[in-house]
Amino acid sequence: MSNTSEDIIANLQHALDLGLNKEEFEKIKDILGRDPNFTELSIFSVMWSEHCSYKNSIKWLKTLPRDGDQMLVKAGEENAGLVDLGDDLACAFKIESHNHPSAIEPYQGAATGVGGINRDIFTMGARPIAQLNSLRFGNPDHHNTKNLIRGVVKGIGDYGNSFGVPVVGGEVYFDESYNINPLVNAFSAGIMKKDRFISAISKGVGNTVFIVGSSTGKDGIHGAAFASKDITDDSADDLPAVQVGDPFQEKLLLEASMELSKHDYIIGMQDMGAAGIVCSSSEMSAAGNCGMKINLDLVPKRQEDMKDWEILLSESQERMLVVVKKGNEEKVKSIFDKWDLNCVHIGEVTNDGILQYFMNDKLVAEIPADVLVLGGGAPVYEREYKEPAYFKELQKFSIDFIEEPNDYKKVSERLIASLNICSRKWIAQQYDSMVGTINMSTNNPSDAAIVNLKGTNKVLSMTVDCNSRYVHANPTVGAMIAVSEAARNIVCSGGIPLAITNCLNFGNPYNPEVYWQFVNVIKGMKMACEKFNTPVTGGNVSFYNQTVSDNSEVPVFPTPTIGMIGLSSKNDIMSLNFKGKSDLIYLIGKARNDISSSEYLVVNHGIRLSSAPYFDLEEEFNIQNIIIKLIKNNLIQSAHDISEGGLFVSLLESSISGNLGFDITTSSEIRKDAFLFGESQSRVAVSVSEIDEDKFLDFMKTNKVSFSLLGHVTKGEIRIDDEIFGNINKYKSIYENSLSKFIESI
């Protein structure tokens, strides 16, 4: 292409300022056969950013299991994963991060995270039916924590409630590693008929390219590149990189997309999220081995005098790119007109594989599509990694270092008041959990959210899980636990695990110790996913989650959040709450003399870092299979996994909804604090009716899984080793009100 005097020819300093390195700048010149102009360099900077290209992670991501009989699309090749549910139905689901925007502008950052993940779902032709979220905030005593949680929760609630998709569950953790850089991971799942799938692809020379939805503004420019930057004391200066959402516009876009999915009018469609028009046009073109000519003058704009690169890189929300089969333009336009949305012809498909962007009758950028995208010309790196010094130190931890408490009642009250244990009721009440009438677990709590698949005898179970303290202690084991706990939650709810999506949150990949965490997380995730036959359908990698202040870089705990779905019949739904005061309580799995990385260790002893809790993958797998059989044979009344807070918290959570209690006896072979509060894995507390006890015991004796009688359900009294701990109402009050008291305190 020719340049005019008005063009800015890019140099190395421009490249460095845009987050590219010297080698990447030279590679760009080799690809183009010339020096890029500033617009072209800006395009490369966002498309080759970590957020879009996964250049520092893709090598390891490819080692994850990504195939399975239930998979309908290849992992990472569409906007979201797509899994076969039978009955001609499919589930599209995905989890993504919106960490950096939420750190700078919590309300809009979280809100647009919700909007973006839902667009990924309905762009494929699936109607979103349920949302989850996984949130991480700093130390409760940090000056910024309350403002962040208030803004993030309100942003999620306002957008999700207005959009009309229920939030059916999630998780929240607090740790000082997230003081400045919170994590906001949003999950969405949608249902579609398999024959209404819409691919993110472009092909067919001469086919029309439409931009649909909202007008384009200057919000979110270089947002993808911003997501690959450190959070520093000056990050507020990057506020223009944070997008602004409109849930009511998104609702219109959803309905138009659903109507469009019923017809054979289009080739493909893609959400315009990170990197805006550039990302959608390049990825769709690369997928179809074609090119595009785009006229930026025709793009509907909210602001005057926008530069070409601003239009191309804008991340204004509620927009999509649609490639229409020639001759169907008016039919497509009529659908979007009906919903009062922009639907503007801005370009055509070409056969040369080149992206050409025009403005003011001038060619402003010309780049081969495939060189911009993951799997094409985008760089791929293998980073140095090394074991951190802290790792060996943590392995030296022993329970023998810790003195047993004198007053277990005080410890139990202190533990359930912890913000990492107590009820998330204050948050949940700000979300609409019932819109759409598909939520089946609001008044019948389960370890996973249960969603009705209307018109069938099936339900979809879903969960998000990760204990980042475990992962920091041992990335391989911690990642295996994250996958296993997600599967355990699905199983305890009556479901069979199908597949996962992941959101991998880490610090700076150029830090060898951070990259060591990442590599070992992938190894652990791979082993667990293979064991449970839960392929990875896709997800998100979010690096650069750290705080930089006074030239010191503090990464967050490595946080590989696992989103998992499962499937079961409505007859197999299992809840976690005790049913009757005479029911017997059994422990499936083996109690161990282990308090490593427990919340008890943090709350009662002030020890934040220690070794990972006990875990054995084979043992976990066997126990989950037993739980599945117990449920299918109607041998148990409730099932609840034992995780954060240990056995005591698990039993308390099973007691609360029915205002019941429990009377149990601890083991003389295990320290009492480990028995009650330890977080060793692969354990489930179940309740059994008296009339089913013999059948239960006969079944368990034929299986090689440890189990033991703990005690029985009471009318409301909590008794341990014949000592009265109090009534359920006292504990319920502490458990349900601790978070609201923290948020509302000045």
Interval 256-302: pLDDT, tens: 999 999 999 999 999 987 789 999 999 999 999 999 999 999 999 98
Return the higher-pLDDT residue of 76 and 543.
543
Among 137-146, 202-211, 622-631, where is mean pLDDT lowest? 137-146
Q: Which is more confident, 345 or 247?
A: 345
Q: What DSSP letter does each residue of 39-86 carry, written as one string? A: HHHHHHHHHTSHHHH-TTTHHHHTTS----TTBSS-TTSSSSEEEEEE
User: Largest Cα–Cα distance of the chain, in whole Å?
Assistant: 88
How far apart CA 148 and CA 43 sit, in angstroms, is: 32
Q: Give the model's confidence band at 397: pLDDT under 50 very low, under 70 low, under 90 confident, else very high.
A: very high
Whole-number percent of the chain with pLDDT over 90: 84
Q: Cα(663)–Cα(723) distance, rounded to whole angstroms?
A: 9
Is 290:349 a contact under the CB 8 Å cutoff? yes
Higher pLDDT pick, 76 / 537:
537
User: Model's pTM, two decimal places?
Assistant: 0.94
> For a pLDDT cut of 70, what percent of the chain falls above it?
94
Report the C-alpha gap between 2 and 366 in whole angstroms.
10
> What's the one-letter identity of residue 555?
P
Range with top average pLDDT, 218-227, 454-463, 680-689: 680-689
The predicted pLDDT at position 428 comes to 87
* Dist CA 496 CA 646 (whole Å): 24
pLDDT at 226: 39
Residue of 589, 739, 736, 720 lying closest to 661 (CA atoms): 720
- Asked if the model's pLDDT at residue 239 lies above 50, the reply is no
Q: What is the DSSP string of 557-598?
A: PPEEEEEEEEEEEGGG---SS---TT-EEEEES---S--TT-
Which member of 51, 222, 472, 712 is catalytic?
Answer: 51
pLDDT digit string, tens, across residues 121-130: 999 999 999 9
Look up residue 302 and give its two tokens.
């909210």
Report CA-CA distances (Å) from 130 to 102, 168, 182, 188, 435.
Answer: 22, 6, 23, 6, 10
Res 223: pLDDT: 44
142 tagged catalytic: no
Alpha-carbon distance 251 to 268, whole Å?
A: 20
392/399 Cα distance (integer angstroms): 16
Q: What's the whole-number mean pLDDT along residues 453-482?
A: 96
Mean pLDDT, rounded, for 165-176: 94
| Rama region for 53: left / alpha / beta (φ>0; ψ in -120 to 50; rest) | alpha
Is 345 considered catalytic here? Answer: no
Which one of 98, 100, 472, 640 is the catalytic residue? 98
Mean pLDDT of the region 303-324: 92
Confidence of residue 493 (pLDDT cuts 50, 70, 90): very high
DSSP secondary structure string for all residues of 669-686 = TS-HHHHHH---SS-EEE
pLDDT tops 90 at residue 377:
no
| Long-range pairs, 278-282, Cβ under 8 A, ≥24 | 278/43, 278/46, 278/47, 278/312, 278/313, 278/372, 279/46, 279/47, 279/52, 279/224, 280/320, 280/321, 281/202, 281/209, 281/321, 281/347, 281/355, 281/369, 282/47, 282/355, 282/367, 282/369, 282/372, 282/373
For the record, the structure tokens of 340 come out as 């009062």
Q: Which CA distances in Å does 441 have to 348, 444, 449, 577? A: 48, 5, 6, 11
Closest Cα to residue 95, out of 74, 77, 81, 110? Answer: 81
Pairing of strands 342-350, 354-359: unpaired
Q: What is the distance between the alpha carbons of residues 300 and 341, in angstroms, rounded to a whole number?
A: 11
**H helical segments located in 77-232:** 99-104, 106-122, 145-163, 223-226
Is 352's pLDDT higher than 90? yes
CA distance linking residue 68 with residue 80, whole number of Å: 16
Q: What is the mean pLDDT of residues 644-657?
A: 97
Helices and strands, counts by H and E, the chain: 25, 27
Contacts of 62 (CB under 8 A, 6+ apart): none
In this prediction, residue 548 carries a pLDDT of: 75
**What average pLDDT does range 402-416 have in this prediction?**
96
* DSSP percent split of the chain into helix, strand, coil, nearest 5: 40, 25, 40
Residue 746 pLDDT greater than 80, yes or no: no
Sign of CA dihedral 675, 676, 679, 683: positive
Q: Taking a C-beta distance cutoff of 8 angstroms, is the pair 168, 256 a contact?
A: no
Averaged pLDDT for residues 78-99: 95
Q: What is the CA radius of gyration of the chain?
A: 26
Helix (H) or strand (E) segment spanning residue 26: helix 22-32
Are the CB atoms for 537 and 500 separated by under 8 Å?
yes
Q: Which residues pair with 719 in a beta bridge?
A: 663, 724
pLDDT of the residue at 433: 65
Average pLDDT, the chain: 92
What average pLDDT does the segment 692-709 reach? 95
* Buried-exposed string 267-299: b where 16+ CB fall within 10 A, e elsewhere: bbbbbbbbbbbbbbbbbbbbbbebbbbbbbeeb
